Amino acid sequence: MKKVLLYFVEVFKPNGPHKTGNFNLKVMHGINRVSILMFLFCLIVMLIRALR
C-alpha cells in the first residue's frame, strides 16, 4: 500500500516518476495524472451533492 501512495506523490513531481524513460512511459504517467485529478474532482462533487 505504501508503494501505491508513494506513486501518487511521485507522479506529480516536475520530472515525473522516472527521469529517464521513453515517450510512451512519459505519456502513460501524464494520462495517470489526468485520471487522478478527475477522480478527485468527482469525489469532491459527489461529497458536495451528498451534503446538500
Question: C-alpha angle 23/13/8, rounded to 5°?
Answer: 90
Question: What is the per-residue pLDDT for 14?
Answer: 67
Alpha-carbon span 3 to 36, nearest angstrom:
16
Do residues 16 and 26 lie in contact, with contact meaning Cβ atoms separated by under 8 Å? yes
Give the tens place of pLDDT for each residue, 1-49: 788 778 777 777 766 555 667 888 888 888 988 998 999 999 999 999 9
Please state whether the predicted TM-score (pTM) of the whole model is above 0.75. Answer: no
Question: What is residue 17's predicted lDDT score, i.e. its pLDDT?
Answer: 54
The structural domains of the chain, with segments of one domain joined by +, span 22-52
Q: How confident is the model at residue 51 (pLDDT cuts 50, 70, 90)?
A: very high
Top pLDDT among 17 and 51 is at 51
Question: And the C-alpha cell for 37?
Answer: 485529478
